[in-house]
Structure 1
Amino acid sequence: MHENPVPKPYIAEFEHLGFGMFIHWGLYSQLGQGEWVMKLRKIPKEEYRQLKSTFTAEDFDAKAIARLAKLAGMKYIVLTTRHHEGFSLFDTLRLSDYDAVHSPAGRDLIAEFVEGCRSEGIVPFFYHTTADWYQESYVNDFPAYLAYLQKSVEILCTRYGKIGGFWFDGNWDKSDADWQDDVLYGIIRKHQPEAIIVNNSGLHQQGEYGHPEIDSVTFEQGRPKPLDRRGRSKYVAAEMCQTLASYWGYSSIDFQYKSVKELILTLAACRKAGANYLLNIGPTATGKIVKLQEAMLETVGEWVRLFASALYTAKPCGINGHGSDFGLAGEDAKLYFFVHDLAVSGDWNVTVPSGGVGPRTFTGVDKRIRSIKWLDNGEELKFVQDADSDLFTFQATGYPYGVDYVVRVAEATL
């Protein structure tokens, strides 16, 4: 046991990815009612299966999706190779005919996905369900089903080159079953030794540690908390996954979109906790990205580009301010201070009070600071540091009129 375990290099690389895109896409997308529509609408299996005959993927453009991720500042994409409905987007090599190759699409969409990611420098990850509503063996012959699952994962491990990792989901459906995790994870370690292994603990077990081979815990739809790794035999990363609207899969009637402001606040909160942020989109029936989702991601990307040096490799270091304010330790003797609720400067006739301009105080700064400036415009800021009282305060000037970043970041040089 180690008091403070050190991350393995591939886990540290995963943490440095910081921000990723989740994509839920399958037969359910044609119904436009979310990814659980088969289960919740109690659609008979044989009726649901007919959706395969209209699955064309005619608008699926993996390179365009990877370019969108890149514009958003996302470093990796997790795509549903198979969701709970049991339909696969990859060539299952005769394990089943319930896949994209045997649909009107007639293509291995995962091969296209991997190629598209690599063309834009994005790391491809594979989501794969463990629960399956289609395979009879899942209910009637669980050992046979596990063999099917393991062979499916081996195909994904061996036919697409090096991948970033596997994102499993569904063990919660049979919480008392023997899932033969040693066998499943052993297949991955044999063929993809540095692949990140995630097994989603679900909405009700956020941040829960699992099998020793798990490399990252999950926080589904919930703000992550810093992990207490003391006494752990292995350093495990953390990741929050969240929907852009209400559903993971495409819904044609879903107006519950989060604001760009909320997305920025959540990304900042994830980095404060040392967690990655995995933000989901749901392509349409044909694989097209909804214009609103595309525009929101591009807008978030504009914020990410301004403050990129503070987002990917900077790590929590015990610096805390008032309210949501916090600090991260960066590389090359830099500290980054994230400031929330900052007011806009301007004439009082047009400026609506929205927060504080003036001193922002932080504790936990244990090194002498030489200078501090806003990352976005380079404006030097006045500061005082009282090491004896563990207080560091700088004068946070307001946004210039016409500007509001939601969260503004200052860079301090040591």
Structure 2
Amino acid sequence: MNKLVILIAAALQLSFQTYSQINNDNDEKILAVVSTQSNSGLEQWKNLKFGMFIHWGVYSIPAGIWKGKQIEKLGEQIMRHADISIKDYENIARQFNPLNFDAEEIVKLAKSTGMKYIVFTAKHHDGFSMFDSKFTDYDIVDFTPYKQDILKELANACRKHDIKLGLYYSTPDWHFNGSEQERNPIDGKISVFGKVSKANEDYQVTQLNELLTNYGEIVELFFDMGEPTKAQSERFAKTVKNLQPNCQVNGRVMNNQGDFITMPDNHLPESPIYDYAWETPGTFYHTWGYKSWVKGDPLDIQIKKQIRKLSKIVCMGGNYLLNIGPMSDGTVVPYERDVLNGVGDWVSEHNKAFYNTKANPFKKLNWGYSTVKEEENKLYLHVFNWPENGNLKIPGLKSEIVNAYYLNDISEMPLEVSRTGNNQNIKVALEPVNKNLSIIVVEYKGDLEIINPVVKPINGELLLTNSDATKHGKYGMVSYRSIIKDDHRTWDIELEETGEYKIEITYKHKYAEKDFIIEVDNQQLQFTLTGSSKLHPKKPQNIDGNEDLKREKNNKIKDKWNTTVLGSIHLVKGQQVVTLKSGREYVFVPSMNEFRSKDRRYRGLNVAVKSIMLTKRK
């Protein structure tokens, strides 16, 4: 039957299946029973912690080079960045013949690295389907000499080795609309934030039906980019949930229809996030798809970097999805394999500090972060900055420590523990016990009790420094841009006297002026800070989906520190929280046009604070 006819017919149907099917190597039907309990899989998804992202497709053939020229920016978007025509790109696709692809090898690599799930690019922005679709000939089975369903092979291998499978599915489709694609008004390139036509919407739903019924249980559906309407986002998310209720939908389905937040690429939050499920996608370099000329950091540095990213993300409460970009023949890049092997060696000795744990219960630890297993009465201390004096201080741990030892020490030789006031101290070696990251297990008695450290006055003056602050982000799922990394900052203080306190701030910022608020004890002090108006305005930047991309900076804050008295506020003796935030709340918006029209001064705190001084007036 003609695929166009099938597409039209399928677009009129709604599927309410609660089972998914996958063909094994013998083409037998395997039923993967999916629970009908609403979103019962979110907690299971949160415990996956570490996964493999695979960006692989037609774009791996040019490998970052077009017409002899190295193309900057993202390799998987070379069609856009090199302005390759659909005809030329189709000619590239016809060459795709990954004879060295080995699903077993990739799945076993993920498993040996300590990963629990794989998310595979079923369709990227170029519109090429890496699976056998009945609704287009532009797929790996019908359009290439390979003639095999890559996704089927991967799904079989995942099931065999007990690795969960997730799928990436791009909302933009540069092939579907052909020459009618929206263009970015800044650089004239095909837009990654284009609108979704009704025909494309129907097409996407039919493909989602295929993906969620033909390949077994899918743990995650990773949508990306585009500007779907709220109704379209709802339809995409409901299509997933109707077919597989326990499949978690990421926030980039847009319009608040996701189950979890997708952080900006390679983003590491500054403080734990307890209220949302979230995931950070990360790369080895500034690309996701394979580029032949890109080189990563030296192997030992990259291994250490990825171990520490994994540690911090899990300690902050999230999942880490680390990307590989295979070559066009299906081979895993040797450098990427070597990095994963190095990470896997470390994870195999330290996995207890990740799986079945909760996020860091401490507000601030100057040597690193922690995870906790309350049901086992265990803390795992992830020591990023090893104490030179051999004394590791745990501030505010009220619970009694009954044992402490290095996680990678099979003998669990106890470490010496002592208490000083509200702090507990562990005597450790003068050098880290692991060159990449050392973890110490702390077994405690009873319930976990923590007294968060507070800043206290000295001679009537309370000095709040930037290093004492806790940075808080603001996160949402309205659009791709619904993330503010530094939204507000807080300080925990303890006042010894009730009275009138003068507040002064030492700061610098790049804008001529901006409004702020200091909030403490249900009181607000509103003020305006002046900054530099001499700096060159930031050049318009095209957002291409890689927040870690190195760009020329022309808006650095080069001014001297300014100190100004903000006013006075009446405060009561005891513990309080001081909050510094912008004078106007930044509201997330769904469209790029709305985003560009908003006052960028209030997209984040956008101020460098050296100190805030509270002085009791006499």
Q: Does 1:133 align with 2:174?
A: yes
Asked if structure 2 preserves the Cα contact closer than 8 Å seen for 1:333 and 1:413, the reply is: yes
Q: For the structure 1 residues 183 and 285, does the alpha-carbon distance in structure 2 shift closer, same or farther, using more than 3 Å as the test?
A: same
Q: Could you tell me which of 29, 37, 40 is aligned with 2:60?
A: 29
Matched with 1:277 is: 320
Q: CA deviation at 1:228?
A: 5.3
The TM-score with structure 2 as length reference comes to: 0.58
Bigger relative contact order (CA 8 A; separation at least 6) = 1
Q: Does 1:249 align with 2:289?
A: yes
- Distance across 1 between alignment mates of 2:165 and 2:270: 26
Counterpart residue type for residue 154 of structure 1: N
Q: CA deviation at 1:324?
A: 4.2
Counterpart residue type for residue 335 of structure 1: L
Give CA-to-partner distance per residue, 1:85-108, whole Å, 9 cap, x none: 000111111x11100111111011
Matched with 2:199 is: 144
Matched with 1:224 is: 269
- Distance across 2 between alignment mates of 1:154 and 1:28: 25
Matched with 1:347 is: none
Q: CA deviation at 1:155?
A: 0.7
Q: CA deviation at 1:412?
A: 1.4
Asked if structure 1 preserves the Cα contact closer than 8 Å seen for 2:259 and 2:277, the reply is: no
SS at match of 2:156: helix
Q: For the structure 1 residues 293 and 317, does the alpha-carbon distance in structure 2 shift closer, same or farther, using more than 3 Å as the test?
A: closer
Give CA-to-partner distance per residue, 1:265-319, whole Å, 9 cap, x none: 1111101211111111100001110111101101101111111101122112422
Q: Does 1:16 align with 2:50?
A: no
Q: Could you tell me which of 402, 413, 416 is aligned with 1:379?
A: 413
Counterpart residue type for residue 220 of structure 1: D
Q: Does 1:76 align with 2:120?
A: no
Give CA-to-partner distance per residue, 1:69-117, whole Å, 9 cap, x none: 0111111111100000000111111x11100111111011111111111
Q: For the structure 1 residues 27 and 179, does the alpha-carbon distance in structure 2 shift closer, same or farther, using more than 3 Å as the test?
A: farther
SS at match of 1:35: helix
Q: CA deviation at 1:326?
A: 2.2
Matched with 1:363 is: 395
- The structure with more strand, counted as a fraction of residues: 2
Counterpart residue type for residue 40 of structure 1: H
Q: For the structure 1 residues 83 and 256, does the alpha-carbon distance in structure 2 shift closer, same or farther, using more than 3 Å as the test?
A: same
SS at match of 1:147: helix
Asked if structure 2 preserves the Cα contact closer than 8 Å seen for 1:341 and 1:406, the reply is: no
- Distance across 1 between alignment mates of 2:272 and 2:307: 22
Q: CA deviation at 1:356?
A: 1.8
Q: Could you tell me which of 421, 426, 433 is aligned with 1:394?
A: 426
Alignment length, in residue pairs?
A: 376
Q: For the structure 1 residues 198 and 213, does the alpha-carbon distance in structure 2 shift closer, same or farther, using more than 3 Å as the test?
A: closer
- Distance across 2 between alignment mates of 1:50 and 1:358: 62
Counterpart residue type for residue 164 of structure 1: V
Q: For the structure 1 residues 286 and 364, does the alpha-carbon distance in structure 2 shift closer, same or farther, using more than 3 Å as the test?
A: farther
- Sequence identity percentage: 28
Give CA-to-partner distance per residue, 1:127-173, whole Å, 9 cap, x none: 000011111177498011100111111110111111111001013xx
Q: Could you tell me which of 369, 384, 407 is aligned with 2:437?
A: 407
Q: Does 1:199 align with 2:251?
A: yes
Matched with 2:548 is: none
- The structure with more helix, counted as a fraction of residues: 1
SS at match of 1:100: coil
Q: Does 1:155 align with 2:210?
A: yes
- Distance across 2 between alignment mates of 1:210 and 1:123: 27
Matched with 2:303 is: 260
Counterpart residue type for residue 187 of structure 1: T
What runs of 5+ residues in structure 2 fail to find an aligned partner? 1-37, 65-74, 183-195, 445-618
Q: CA deviation at 1:9?
A: 4.2
Q: Any residues of structure 2 matched to 1:29-178 within 5 Å, and which?
A: 29-33=60-64, 34-93=75-134, 95-102=135-142, 103-136=144-177, 139=181, 142-171=197-226, 174=227, 177-178=229-230
Q: Any residues of structure 2 matched to 1:228-377 within 5 Å, and which?
A: 236-257=276-297, 259-319=302-362, 322-330=365-373, 331-342=375-386, 356-377=388-409
SS at match of 1:56: coil
Name the stretch that deviates more: 264-273 or 139-148.
139-148
Q: CA deviation at 1:361?
A: 1.1
Give CA-to-partner distance per residue, 1:221-274, whole Å, 9 cap, x none: 211344656xxxxx6311111111221000100013461111111111101211
Counterpart residue type for residue 51 of structure 2: G
Q: For the structure 1 residues 185 and 251, does the alpha-carbon distance in structure 2 shift closer, same or farther, using more than 3 Å as the test?
A: same
For the aligned residue pairs, the C-alpha RMSD in angstroms reads 2.2
SS at match of 2:352: helix
